[in-house]
Amino acid sequence: MSLAWGPRKSAAKQTQPPVLTKRQEKILRFVILDYVQTASPVASEGIVHRHGLAISSATVRNEMAALEEIGFLAAPHTSAGRIPSEKGYRYYVEWLMEEVELPASEQNMIRHQFHQSKMDMEEWTRLSAAILSRMVSNLGLVTLPKLVQCRLKHLRLVALQENLALLILVLQEAKVKQRVLDFGEAVSQEELDIISLRLTNLYKGLTSDQISDAPPAPRQGSEERLRQAIAEMMKAEDDKQYPEPHVDGLRLLLLQPEFASNVRIRGIVEALESKALWHAILPQVLTGEGIRVVIGNESPDTPIRDCSVVLARYGIPGEVEGALGVLGPTRMAYARTVSTVRYLSSLMRELIVELSG
C-alpha cells in the first residue's frame, strides 16, 4: 500500500492552489505554526519577533489583513490577532506542510512496544490506538482489520426436517455463517453429504464474486439455488462495515482548550457513544490510497465539525485491511500527526504480513 505523503499530495488536493505570494504563504505558515503551539490568536508583532522577519510588523499586519480578506485567516472579536480558518488549514496541508519523518528513536521505541506484546490483532489495535493518542496528544482510533473479500473454506448441509436443511459455511479466519434452506422436496442426510462434498470441491478458496461467476457445471436445480445462497451469504459478510475502533486518549482530546465548552464536549462524547462518528468519517479513508486529512466541515453531518481527522488504511491491499487515525481539534500539529499515522499504518502492515506468514 502506498503511504507516501508530502506537500501537494493530499487526497483532497485542489486542482490548482489559490494564488498567494511567497510572503503571504510564509506568514500563513507562521500563523498556523504559532497558533497550533499557543492556542492564542497570533499578532503581527509576535510573528516578527518569534521568526526574526526582516520586515515591519505593519507589513505583516497588512498581509494578514489580505489573508483574512480571502478567507485564510479569521479575527476573533476579542483579539487583535488572527487565527487560521479551515480554508487556511487546507491550504497549509495541501501546499505548505513540510514532509517529516518520526525520529529514529521514536520509531525504535514504538517497535519495541510491539515486540513486547503478544502476536494478537486485538492487542496490536489497542496498542496502536494508545501510541497514536500519546504521540500527538489527541484521540487515537484503530479498527481491527477485516477481509476485503472472504473466501470459502468448506461447507456442510445438515438435515433438519423432511425438506429443510441448515447450510453451514466456514470461511477464512474461522468465521461461520448459517442459513436454513428449503429444498422443496424430501432430502436425506446422505444426499446432503454428497452435495456438500461436491460444492466444497467446486468452490473451496473462491470469493463470492467468483462463485457467482463460476462457469455452469452439471448440477440439479437445488444445487444451483445452493450456489446462489452461498454467494449471497458471503457477499453479505463482505459488505459488513468495519468493526468499531479501539479508542484511546479521550481525556487528552478534551484537555485541548477548544473543548472547554461543555456543549462541544457533549457532542463529541455522544458521537463516540452512538458509534455515528466512525461511520461518518470512515468512508473518507476507503476511497483512495495514502493519508486522508479531513478538516472541520469537510466531515459532513457529524458533531465533530470543530475537529480534524487524519486517517489511513493498513494491511494487505485487496486481502485484509483495517483503518487507523487521529481525531483532534482543527488546531492540530498536522505534520507530526501525519507522520505518526503514516508510520503506524506501515508498521501494522508489516505485523499483519508477519502474522499471516
pLDDT digits (tens, 9 = 90+) for 265-297: 777 777 777 666 676 677 666 666 789 999 998
- Helices 104-116 and 334-356: angle between axes, nearest 10 degrees: 40
Whole-structure pTM value? 0.79
Q: Are residues 127 and 267 in the same domain?
A: yes
* Residues 64 and 28 sit within 8 Å (Cβ to Cβ): no
* Residues 211 and 204 sit within 8 Å (Cβ to Cβ): no
Domain with 46 in it? 22-96
Q: Are residues 231 and 211 in the same domain?
A: yes
Q: How far apart are CA 326 and CA 142, in angstroms?
A: 9
Q: How far apart are CA 233 and CA 228, in angstroms?
A: 9
**Phi first, then psi: what are they for 301, rounded to 5°?**
55, 40
Q: Are residues 290 and 234 in the same domain?
A: no
Give the count of domains, the chain: 3
For residue 98, what is its C-alpha cell? 513540510
Residue after which a domain boundary falls, among 238, 268, 295: 238
Q: Are residues 135 and 220 in the same domain?
A: no
Longest CA pairwise span in the chain (Å): 93
Average pLDDT, the chain: 86
Angle subtended at Cα 164 by Cα 163 and Cα 170, rounded to the nearest 5 degrees: 140
pLDDT in tens, 179-231: 999 988 888 999 999 999 999 999 999 999 999 888 765 556 678 889 989 99
Predicted pLDDT of residue 101: 93
| Domain of residue 219, CATH code | 3.30.390.60
Q: How far apart are CA 73 and CA 60, in angstroms?
A: 13
Predicted pLDDT of residue 304: 77
Q: Is residue 5 part of a domain?
A: no
Residue after which a domain boundary falls, among 216, 238, 260: 238
Read off the pLDDT band of 12 (50, 70, 90). Answer: very low
Residue type, 291: I
Predicted pLDDT of residue 149: 82
Q: Are residues 246 and 303 in the same domain?
A: yes
Q: Are residues 171 and 198 in the same domain?
A: yes
pLDDT in tens, 19-52: 899 999 999 999 999 999 999 999 999 999 999 9
pLDDT in tens, 292-308: 999 998 876 567 778 89
Q: Are residues 131 and 206 in the same domain?
A: no
Q: How far apart are CA 310 and CA 341, in angstroms?
A: 7
Q: Are residues 234 and 247 in the same domain?
A: no
| Domain of residue 137, CATH code | 3.30.450.40
Q: Are residues 77 and 206 in the same domain?
A: no
Residue after which a domain boundary falls, among 176, 207, 238: 238
Q: Is residue 1 part of a domain?
A: no
DSSP-assigned letter for residue 155: E
Read off the pLDDT band of 243 (50, 70, 90). Answer: confident
Angle subtended at Cα 277 by Cα 301 and Cα 136, rounded to the nearest 5 degrees: 120
Predicted pLDDT of residue 92: 97
Q: Is residue 12 part of a domain?
A: no
Q: Are residues 131 and 264 in the same domain?
A: yes
* Residues 159 and 182 sit within 8 Å (Cβ to Cβ): no
Q: Are residues 80 and 192 in the same domain?
A: no
Q: Are residues 195 and 59 in the same domain?
A: no
Q: Is residue 8 part of a domain?
A: no
Place of cell 466541515: 297
Place of cell 465539525: 305
Percentage of residues in the chain having pLDDT higher than 70? 85
